Structure 1
Amino acid sequence: MLANYPLSKTEEAFFRDSDIEKITTKIPYLAVDNFPKLGLLTACRFLEWVSTNPEGVISLPTGKTPEYFIKWTKFLLENWEEKKGLDIRKKYGLIDCSKPVLKDLHFVQIDEFYPISSAQNNSFHHYVNKFYIEGFGLDPQKALLINCDEITLSEGKSYKEVFPDSKVDLTLRFREYKTPQEKLQQDSIYLIDQWCGQYEAKIREKGGIGFFVGGIGPDGHIAFNTRGSDIFSTTRLTETNFETQAVAAGDLGGIEISANRLVITIGLDTIVHNPDAVAIIIAAGEAKAGIVKQSLELSMTNVYPATVLQKLKNGRFFITKGAASKLTDSTDQYYFTGEWNDTKTERAVLDLCKKLQRYGHRITLEDLKEDKYTSQIPGLNENTVKNVIKSISDKIDRGMSEEKNEVFLHTGPHHDDISLGILPQITKQLHENSNEAHFAVLTSGFTAVTNTFVIETLRSAKKFLDNGRIQMVKFEDFYSSGYKLKMDKDVYHYLTNVASDNAEERLRGLCHRLVRAIVFTFGIKSTLQLREQINEIITVLKNSYDGEKNPKNIQTLKGMIREFEEELVWAHFGVQVKNVHHLRLGFYTGDIFTEQPDKKRDVEPILNMLREIKPTKLSLTLDPEGSGPDTHYKVLQATAEAIRQWSLEEDLSNFKVIGYRNVWFKFDAAESNVIVPVSLGDMSVMEDSFSNCYMSQVNASFPSYAHNGKFSTLAKNTWVDQLSDVQLLLGKNYFYQHQSAKVRSSHGLIFFREMEVEDFLIEARELEKSTEGML
């Protein structure tokens, strides 16, 4: 039980508020319902600690994870004696605390990219100053910060002179230099190492860190202490691994940048140096569940850096239920408490097949009775596994059923979400002439388009203009209205040259659409003005640092590139441009903390689309919880509200919501109710359409940490893995001997959930509660 650990009043209150019954992990944890409440828990514990340590040493995280921690901290300080603040303080153990004063705290910056200018908005130095020093009213004179501009290098030179390409070769620590520039770099690396040692010494002079909050990376990294970091490591300049680079790509403008950028980070021993330190790791969402399980349940090891918190009596994990979902404690609680249902039976049997690596028909009654989870199945008997096999088989039958006379509206938060989630299901729907299909991407998606891609495409457009190969600009009405016409022709031209394998003509097709987008976005009135505008955009982008937020009109231009890509994908199946809808919801701004969806700005466009299209089935990404400040979650809330309002106007008794997931979150076979067989042909269509159409994404500038390559390959791998799981239950012969050719040809499976409107709204409502009454 958590009660065996020294608990603060706040921790006791949140523990009582949770439904956790036992904790057996090597580091204690508190689990809350959702991401915003995780921020509240962390803020309460922080303010509780500060109230008794007003001059303590704190180290707080950067990035998107602390969003609600920062918001709740400021909210509570501003409403300490107001009813809203008092109610929270009474509930969560802060009622006896005097109002904390933050100005005398000593702040320690956790980490920083190297090299990076402190003036850049995507530097952690800038983040710390904006959200903590200024935002919390801390004293900058009492802050230890990592400012790359101020770290002394050889001959007093700047890092731009010493490392002109921003690449630091750490082999120079150990080998002889070969050129005068390498000598300069070698001496500078030694000076950076010396600076890191001094930074560590200053932290220890303060007695070490008293209150630490950090996120956890997909590889388990804490600060930038990646997998394999020495448990006794201190502040240092170091390299990162692929998973960390993939996560950092969003900050730095692409993995091309993050893969070549080093980091300065405090060490694992820095974090635990003070034996009385409160050290908290925060994690949200099912995507973190695996690494949370390993970090909490394994003995201390350099393979999982967070295990170092076992050294501290006040080491904690604060996590959402999604992040806790794979813990043995959570699994036990899932099976041993609450009402038993068919989903539990299916999941227990499927998991037993994986555990024993045995096909379902070979699982005996004795096996079921010996397993601690399947033994809980009510009325356990010889037919238990057979019933599960039939249930999963029925889901596959449902996935092969023909859908006719339907109006489909497939939606996604980002471009490529729909394709990566359920493309094989959609191709089947599109082959039926009685169906009508629409596709809607709800955000602009401009952050996924790199400056380099835009610059190269603009330069190509200039060449085509110079050679007279963008002929539409010569038409009299082009700059007044003609630029809006023949969008389908751009698409057809591009795809024709995919078929003929003519790369230059494909590029010309892209440049045609880019020219239309520039004319639309910037109000261009002549070819001369068009050329000047192209040059100006190139200049702006060349003078921007990687990862810098673009001006709004360039954001729009980047978004229109993504929109063209989406139109190309669905044109593979004859879908016209008018049936591909681009909503560009306003909450999506490119800021580190985006706004919550606004009912007028973000809900009305979806509602109006529903009124116009009148779909009978709508698909959307159904993420498991409010797992962070992510677009998926916010789009889901806006869509749910639009459907709720539409349900007040229309009879939706025959309307269905299809909840799918893709490479970020995954259903298992038990929680889905439709399973779609995927053939090699389906996989090839998805891979080819992704590679040929999502031009800005093919080089995977912003890859998933789970795969160093295209998202389409990761989606395919997911489908294959899902087949493997189900094959263990049904047996391989079920597939290759099936009466249906579709099943016989399947080498992957897609899971999704089809819901009635009311069921969907109830589920969405539970997620929406996570941000109510806040801020």
Structure 2
Amino acid sequence: MLSKYPLSEVEKAFQKESGIENISTLIPYLTVDNFPKLGLITACRFLEWVSENPQGVISLPTGKTPEYFIKWTQFLLENWDTKKGKEVRDRYNMSALKKPNLKDLTFVQIDEFYPISSKQKNSFFDYVNKFYLEGFGMSKEKAILINSDEIPLAGGKHFKEVFPDLKVDLSLRFRDPINALEKIQQQSIYMIDHWCGQYEQRIRDAGGIGFFLGGIGPDGHIAFNTRGSHLFSTTRLTETNFETQAVAAGDLGGIEVSANRLVITIGLETIVYNPEAVGIIIAAGEAKAQIVKDSLETPLSNIYPGTVLQKLKNGRFYLTKGAAVRLTDSVDAYYKKGEWTWEKTERSIIDLCKKIQKYGHRLKMEDLKADKYTSMIPGLSEDTVNQVMKSVVEKINRGTEKEKNQVLLHTGPHHDDISLGILPHITNQLAENTNEAHFSVLTSGFTAVTNSFVIDTLLQTKKLLDEGLIQMVHYDDFFDVGYKLKTDKDVYHFLTNVASEHPDQRIRGLCHRVVRALVDIWEVKSKAKLRETINDVISILRNSYDGEKNPAKIQKLKGMIREFEEELVWAHFGVQVKNVHHLRLGFYTGDIFTEQPDKKRDVEPIVELFRKVNPTKISLTLDPEGSGPDTHYKVLQATAEAVRQWGLEKDLSELRIIGYRNVWFKFEPHEANVIVPVSLGDMSVMEDSFTNCYLSQVNASFPSYSHNGKFSTVAKRTWVGQLNDIQLLLGKNYFYLHDTAKVRSSHGLIFFKDMNVEEFLAHARELEKSIEGML
């Protein structure tokens, strides 16, 4: 029961709101509906603690995870006595609290990449100073920080002299150096180790951390304490694992950088050194659900670093419902609370097949009665499994129906989202000539293009210009209007040379489009100015550090490269450039925290697109919990508002909304109402189009933490896994003996949700409500 845990007044309010009655985990937790509200609960608990410990020691996280924690904390501090602020405080048992003053707190930096200059905007040192010390009005003098530029090294040298390639070889701790440079590096590593010991001592001298807030990585890492870290670990210089490097790639400008960068991190023992400490881990989204379950339901283990919070009586996990979905408590509550639905019957039967590895047609009544969830099915009988099988077959039938006379608008937050989500479904639609298809990526997507990719492309472009192989620049009208013409020709040229396997000519197609982009963005009026512009861009990028925010014009260039890649994918199926719409919504800026979508700037362009295309079906990525990449849920907000506004002008009773997921999240079978068979041919088309068209992504500078390679491989594995789940229910013979070739050729499945407008807006409404209090 929750009563055995010493809940604070704020936690009691959130616990009551969550409706959780029983907790069986080894660390207590609280759940909220979505990612923005996760920031609210954390901010309220933090300010409650600070009001009681005004001179306490705190340690707060960096990165995108604390976005709403920071925003809600600032909101409450600025609106403590306003009507809005009082409403929040009254709701969460904070009305009696005196307004906290954060100036006397001691801030402890959790971790930092090493080596990295503290002057870089993507260093955690800079983040801490900007968002916490300055943003919250805390003392810089009292702060205990990790500044790589100031950590002493051998001979008083800077890390750029000691580690000229910014790589630190920790084997030098245990082996003899083989040259003079390695000798200096070895001495320096020992000095860094000594500095880390002093850092740990400073924390302990302050009494240890009193309030710790951290996220949890996909491998379970807390701070940079990755899977396998010792439960008694302290502050140290250490290596990371692939999952952590993949997550850090966005901060450092690519996996190429993060894979070669070490980290300085406080240890697990550092976090729990003060037995009275409040230690909170926050997690959002179903992608974190398994590691959350393992961290909360496993006894103390170095395999799951989060289990260390078992040592603290005030240790907590704050979770979105998606992150908590696999907890035994959550599953129990799902089945036991509220009325029994058909979805519960489907889920319990499919999960039982997976649990006992038994095909649906082989399940016996004793199997159903022995399971604690299927035994709860009302009217349980021999026919129950058959009814579930029939229901899933109907979903597959919907996924194989031939759609006709549809105007389809497929949208995605980022380039490649649509392809990775539902490409095989789209190819079915495009095979029908009466359908009209449009595609729109709603953001520019420039952050996914590395500086090195642009530099290499520009060098190739300059070479082709020198060789006279970009002939269009010689036309009299090119720099006035010609650069805007024949964009379909660039696409066709590129794909023709994919087919004929001429990689040099294929790159020439890309370079043609890059020239058009340069002329457009920089308003180039001559061949000499074009060459000068190319040199200027190369120079700027070569003098930028990895992960640095680019100037606006270079952001636009990177975005236009991604847009060309998207046009290439849909041209595989004869879709013209004019049917691929690039919206470049303004909230997408490349900053660590992007703005909320603006109703005029970000919503109106989507409404205009709806008016222009007049779709009968709209597809979009569905992340109603707001827990995925922030672009996903901000695009969802903007799209939902656009649908609402369009509905004021037009009857949308016949409009269908297709909610899909891709490599970041997936639907469970019971959540989806359409299942689309995927053949090996479909997978090959997706893999080939990804490899040949998304040139900036093939080397996966920003890979999924689940696979060190292309996103297309992650998508394929998801589809195959989904087939395995359904095969356990229906049996393999259902597929290979099916009447239709489409089902017989299935080697994967795609799940999605087909909704009417009202259903879609209901999904999006809760997320909007959770944010509007701050706006």
Give the Cα–Cα distance (whole angstroms) in 2 for the partners of residues 659 and 86 of structure 1.
37
* 1:399 and 2:399 aligned: yes
Which position in structure 1 is the counterpart of 2:327?
327
Which position in structure 2 is the counterpart of 1:413?
413
* 1:152 and 2:149 aligned: no
Query: Alpha-carbon deviations, 1:90-145, whole Å to 9, x = none?
Result: 22121221111110111100000000000000000000000111111111110000
Cα shift at 1:624: 4.1
Give the Cα–Cα distance (whole angstroms) in 1 for the partners of residues 766 and 273 of structure 2.
41
Which position in structure 2 is the counterpart of 1:140?
140
Contact 2:624 2:764 in 1 (8 A): no
Which position in structure 2 is the counterpart of 1:596?
596
Cα shift at 1:340: 1.2
The root-mean-square deviation of aligned C-alpha atoms, in Å, is 0.8
Poorly superposed stretches of 4+, deviation over 6 Å: none
Which segment is superposed worse, 252-261 or 371-380? 371-380
Give the Cα–Cα distance (whole angstroms) in 2 for the partners of residues 681 and 335 of structure 1.
39
Query: Alpha-carbon deviations, 1:311-343, whole Å to 9, x = none?
Result: 000001111111111111110000001111111
Which position in structure 1 is the counterpart of 2:126?
126
Which segment is superposed worse, 255-264 or 623-632? 623-632
Query: Alpha-carbon deviations, 1:369-397, whole Å to 9, x = none?
Result: 11111111111111000000001011111
Give the Cα–Cα distance (whole angstroms) in 2 for the partners of residues 496 and 573 of structure 1.
13
Which position in structure 2 is the counterpart of 1:66?
66
* 1:374 and 2:374 aligned: yes
Query: Alpha-carbon deviations, 1:664-720, whole Å to 9, x = none?
Result: 110011111110100000000000000000000000000010111000000000000
Q: TM-score, normalised by structure 1?
A: 0.99
Q: How does 1:523-672 map to 2 (within 5 A)?
A: 523-627=523-627, 630-672=630-672
Cα shift at 1:36: 1.4
Cα shift at 1:41: 0.8
Which position in structure 1 is the counterpart of 2:715?
715
Cα shift at 1:284: 1.1
SS at match of 2:699: coil
Which position in structure 2 is the counterpart of 1:206?
206
Query: Alpha-carbon deviations, 1:615-661, whole Å to 9, x = none?
Result: 11111001141116611101111111111111121122221111111
Contact 1:565 1:695 in 2 (8 A): yes
Cα shift at 1:767: 2.1
Give the letter aligned to residue 174 of structure 2: F
SS at match of 1:137: coil
Query: Alpha-carbon deviations, 1:736-763, whole Å to 9, x = none?
Result: 1111111111100000111111111111
Q: How does 1:111-510 map to 2 (within 5 A)?
A: 111-510=111-510
Contact 2:617 2:656 in 1 (8 A): yes
Give the Cα–Cα distance (whole angstroms) in 2 for the partners of residues 465 and 571 of structure 1.
26
Contact 1:407 1:435 in 2 (8 A): yes
Contact 1:35 1:320 in 2 (8 A): yes
SS at match of 1:197: helix
Give the letter aligned to residue 565 of structure 1: E
Give the Cα–Cα distance (whole angstroms) in 2 for the partners of residues 523 and 313 of structure 1.
63
Contact 1:298 1:307 in 2 (8 A): yes
Give the letter aligned to residue 150 of structure 1: E
Give the Cα–Cα distance (whole angstroms) in 2 for the partners of residues 82 and 603 of structure 1.
30
Query: Alpha-carbon deviations, 1:557-598, whole Å to 9, x = none?
Result: 000000000000000000000000000000000001111111
Contact 2:624 2:763 in 1 (8 A): no
Give the Cα–Cα distance (whole angstroms) in 2 for the partners of residues 386 and 624 of structure 1.
32
Give the letter aligned to residue 692 of structure 1: N
* 1:28 and 2:15 aligned: no
Give the Cα–Cα distance (whole angstroms) in 2 for the partners of residues 681 and 422 of structure 1.
14
SS at match of 1:141: coil
Give the letter aligned to residue 702 of structure 2: F
Contact 1:296 1:307 in 2 (8 A): yes
Which position in structure 1 is the counterpart of 2:87?
87
Give the Cα–Cα distance (whole angstroms) in 2 for the partners of residues 295 and 659 of structure 1.
31
Q: Which runs of 5+ in 2 are unaligned?
A: none
Give the letter aligned to residue 761 of structure 2: L
Contact 1:67 1:629 in 2 (8 A): no
Give the letter aligned to residue 481 of structure 1: V
Q: TM-score, normalised by structure 2?
A: 0.99
Cα shift at 1:269: 0.2
Give the Cα–Cα distance (whole angstroms) in 2 for the partners of residues 348 and 394 of structure 1.
18
* 1:761 and 2:775 aligned: no
Give the Cα–Cα distance (whole angstroms) in 2 for the partners of residues 670 and 17 of structure 1.
26
Contact 1:403 1:429 in 2 (8 A): yes
Give the letter aligned to residue 270 of structure 1: T
Query: Alpha-carbon deviations, 1:380-419, whole Å to 9, x = none?
Result: 1110000000010111111111001111000000000000
Give the Cα–Cα distance (whole angstroms) in 1 for the partners of residues 611 and 78 of structure 2.
42
Which position in structure 1 is the counterpart of 2:108?
108
Which position in structure 1 is the counterpart of 2:688?
688
Query: Alpha-carbon deviations, 1:182-226, whole Å to 9, x = none?
Result: 111111000000000000011111111011000100000000000
Contact 1:409 1:439 in 2 (8 A): yes
Give the Cα–Cα distance (whole angstroms) in 2 for the partners of residues 7 and 116 of structure 1.
40
Q: Which runs of 5+ in 1 are unaligned?
A: none
Cα shift at 1:766: 2.0
Contact 2:494 2:510 in 1 (8 A): yes
Query: Alpha-carbon deviations, 1:144-170, whole Å to 9, x = none?
Result: 000000000001110000001110000
Give the letter aligned to residue 379 of structure 2: G
Give the Cα–Cα distance (whole angstroms) in 1 for the partners of residues 761 and 10 of structure 2.
33
Query: Alpha-carbon deviations, 1:602-623, whole Å to 9, x = none?
Result: 1110100100111111110011
SS at match of 2:642: helix
Which position in structure 2 is the counterpart of 1:521?
521
Which position in structure 1 is the counterpart of 2:40?
40
SS at match of 2:608: helix
Contact 1:626 1:770 in 2 (8 A): no
Give the letter aligned to residue 460 of structure 1: Q
SS at match of 2:141: helix
Contact 1:295 1:306 in 2 (8 A): yes
Give the letter aligned to residue 489 of structure 1: K
Give the Cα–Cα distance (whole angstroms) in 1 for the partners of residues 628 and 44 of structure 2.
19
Give the Cα–Cα distance (whole angstroms) in 1 for the partners of residues 108 and 758 of structure 2.
49
Give the Cα–Cα distance (whole angstroms) in 2 for the partners of residues 604 and 721 of structure 1.
39
Contact 2:626 2:632 in 1 (8 A): no
Give the Cα–Cα distance (whole angstroms) in 1 for the partners of residues 410 and 256 of structure 2.
32
Give the Cα–Cα distance (whole angstroms) in 2 for the partners of residues 454 and 642 of structure 1.
34
Contact 2:2 2:21 in 1 (8 A): no
SS at match of 1:618: strand
Give the letter aligned to residue 515 of structure 1: V
